[in-house]
Structure 1
Amino acid sequence: MINYYYNYNQKGELTVRSYIDCVYCYLKQAVSCMKMAGIEDEKKMHEVIYELMDYVKTFDTEVTPAENSSRVLLKAYELIGIDDPYKEIKKKSNDLALELYNGLKQKIENSDDRLYDALKIAVAGNVIDLGINRSFDIHEALAHSMDTGFSIDHYELFRKKLEEVQEVLLLGDNSGEIVFDKLLVEELTRLGKQVTYVVKGAPILNDATMEDALYVGMDKVARVITNGSKYLGVCLERVSEEFINTLYNANLIISKGQANFESLEQDENVRGKAFFLLKIKCECVADVAGAKLGDVVFFTK
C-alpha cells in the first residue's frame, strides 16, 4: 500500500526520496556504527545521537535517503573520531565470501544457464549490508535467491541488450558481496565482455573500496575504478567527473544494491541502460520498485 506522503515525478511514477520513515534508519545506522567501533559508553552514544538528531533537522527531504544517510554516518565518524569503523568486519566479510567462492564457481559451471545463476548468486551477496543488519545468513540468502529467484525479472531483456554491447559497467556495493560480484564478472568476461567495476573512493559503512577489490582479486578480472566519493550510492554532486562520464557513456549498467537504486532510478541518463540487481530491504523502496520487502529483483526502468 502506498503512503500519501510519497513523491511522484512528472510522468506520474513513484520516486525514492527521503521520507519520515528514513529518519529512524539514519539514527539506527549511527548506533550500529558506534557499536561496530567498539563504543560501550552509553552516555557517549547518547551525546552523539542527540547531536545527530539536531543535524538531521537541517536535511533536505527531496534528496535520496542514500545521500542523507551518508551525511549522518560521516558526521558520526567525525564525532567518534574513527574514519573506518567497519574495517575489521569488512575483511571478515571478504574472507567468508572467499571461502564460498570455489563452491559457487562450481555451481555456475554446472548450471544450464550460467549467466542467470551468476546474477542470482551476485544478488544473494547483497544481504551483506551492515548498515541495516549487524548480522546476516549468507547461506540462507543463497538458498532463497537460487530457489525462489527474482520477483521482478528482466533477464531476457538484459540478455538481448548484452548481445549488442562489448562493455558492461558494474556498480558495486558491499565488501564480501564483491566476491559474489567477481563470479558474475568472470561469467561476463567468459561471454567476451569487458567489465568495469566501480567501488567507493573512501570508506563508508561496509561498502567496497579499492582495498577490497584488490584483496579479492577483482582487478585480475575487470578494470576497477572508484566513483571518487565516500557517499552511499551515486551522489552526483560528490562523485568524480571521470566517473560521471563513464556512467553516462556506458551502454549497459548493472547497478548493485539499494543505495545505487535510490540514486539512479529516476536518472534519465541511464534509463533503459541500467539494470538494478538488489534485495529489497525497505518498504518505501519496495513500493517504488513494485516489489515486496525481502524480494530479490533484477529489472530496468
Structure 2
Amino acid sequence: MKVQLDCVHCYLKQVVSTMKRTDLDEDTQYQILYRLMEEIKGLDNSNTPAYNSSVILKSAYEMIGVADPYKSAKRESNDAALSFYPELSELLSRSQDRLKDALKIAVAGNVIDLGIYRDFDIGSAISQVMDEGFSADCSEQFKSELDSTDSVLIIGDNAGEIVFDRMLVEELRRLGKSVTYVVKSSPILNDATMEDAEYVGMTDLAKVIETGSGHLGVSIDDISDEFRKALENASVIISKGQANFESLEGIDWISQKTFFLLKIKCEEVALVSGLKFNSMVFLRKSI
C-alpha cells in the first residue's frame, strides 16, 4: 500500500501521542514538530505509510532522547489483557468453533493501538467481534489451508494484543500445529518486542523471532535473515494489524499465502481493502 494524502497528518499525530508520554515542555514539543515537518517534505510517497511513519518516529525518538516512551504503557496493556485471559479461556472451552473464536479474540486485541488511539476499550472490542463476527471472513479457507500444513507464521503487532494472540497460538497448538511468532527488534510506539513476548508467556508456546528492525509493519528490505527465511518457508501466514497490512499486501510472494487479521482503523486502508472503516476482518487478498 502506497502513501495517501491523509497519511501525512498521521505521521505527526503519532509523534504528538509519543511526546505526550514524556516530560518534554510544550515549547520543545513544538520545535520537534516543526523540524519533523521539514523532514516530511523529503519523504518518498511511493513508500508504504508504515515505512514513512517509522522514519519520522525514529527521528522523533532521537530528538526526544527516550528509547522507549511507551514502556510503561506496554506493561499496562499486557496486564490489562492478561486480566481477560481466564474469562476468554472459559469462553473458548464452551465454543462450538474454537479456532474461529480464537481468531475473533485475536483481532479484538488489535484495538490496543496507542499510535492511533489515546485510549481503548478491550471489553467492548471483544463483545463487538463476538456478536458481529468478521466483516470479511476467510476462516473457512484458513481452516482448509491449515489442514495441509503443520506450521503457521504469525506476524505480531502490539503489546497487550500479544496476549490475545497467545490464545490463538494455544488453539493452533491444540490442533497439532507449531507456531513461529514475530516481534519487533527494538521499540516503536507500543509494538510488541521480545520483552513483551517473554512477559506474557508467548516464548513458552511458540518460537519467537524478531523482525530485525524497529519499523512499524514489515520493512522488507530491512529484515533479519531469520525472518526472511521464515517468510520464504511459510506456507500459511497470519499478519496482525494495520501496519503489517500496509507493508505486505502489495508484495505478492508474501500476500498470496497471508491471511490479514486486523481492525480497519483508517479510511485509506478501508479503500485499499474494499472494506468498511472500523470493521474487524480476516482477509485473504486476491492476487
8 Å contact from structure 2 (residues 209, 226) kept in 1: no
Match of 1:298 in 2: 282
Match of 2:239 in 1: 255
Match of 2:111 in 1: 127
Query: Is 1:283 aligned with 2:262?
Result: no
Q: Mapping of 1:182-201 within 5 angstroms?
A: 182-201=166-185
Runs (4 or more) in structure 1 with deviation over 6 Å come to none
* Corresponding residue SS for 1:225: strand
8 Å contact from structure 2 (residues 185, 214) kept in 1: yes
Match of 1:180 in 2: 164
Instruction: List alignment gaps of at least 5 residues for structure 1.
Output: 1-15
- Alpha-carbon deviation of 1:247? 0.8
* Corresponding residue SS for 2:42: coil
8 Å contact from structure 1 (residues 30, 73) kept in 2: yes
Query: Is 1:21 aligned with 2:3?
Result: no
TM-score normalised to structure 2 length: 0.98
Match of 2:134 in 1: 150
- Alpha-carbon deviation of 1:111? 0.3
* Corresponding residue SS for 1:186: helix
- Alpha-carbon deviation of 1:38? 3.3
The 2-side partners of 1:146 and 1:31 are apart by 33
Q: Deviations over 1:184-220 (max 9, x none)?
A: 0000000000000000001000000000000000011
Q: Mapping of 1:190-269 within 5 angstroms?
A: 190-269=174-253
Match of 2:88 in 1: 104
Q: How many residue pairs end up in the alignment?
A: 285
Q: Deviations over 1:152-192 (max 9, x none)?
A: 11111100000000000000000000000000000000000
- Alpha-carbon deviation of 1:295? 0.3
The 2-side partners of 1:74 and 1:37 are apart by 15
* Corresponding residue SS for 1:36: coil
Aligned with 2:55 (options 59, 62, 71): 71
The 1-side partners of 2:91 and 2:45 are apart by 44
8 Å contact from structure 1 (residues 37, 86) kept in 2: no
Query: Is 1:162 aligned with 2:152?
Result: no
The 1-side partners of 2:252 and 2:164 are apart by 29
The 1-side partners of 2:30 and 2:269 are apart by 29
The 2-side partners of 1:220 and 1:102 are apart by 18
The 1-side partners of 2:36 and 2:255 are apart by 35
Instruction: List alignment gaps of at least 5 residues for structure 2.
Output: none
* Corresponding residue SS for 1:270: helix
Query: Residue type of the partner of 1:33?
Result: T
Aligned with 1:33 (options 12, 15, 18): 18
Query: Residue type of the partner of 2:84?
Result: L
Match of 1:6 in 2: none
Query: Is 1:61 aligned with 2:66?
Result: no
* Corresponding residue SS for 2:192: coil
The 1-side partners of 2:69 and 2:222 are apart by 21
Query: Is 1:81 aligned with 2:65?
Result: yes
- Alpha-carbon deviation of 1:55? 0.5
Query: Residue type of the partner of 1:246?
Result: A
The 2-side partners of 1:85 and 1:263 are apart by 24
The 1-side partners of 2:22 and 2:58 are apart by 13
Q: Percent identity?
A: 57
Q: Deviations over 1:104-155 (max 9, x none)?
A: 1110111000000000000000000000011001111111111111101111
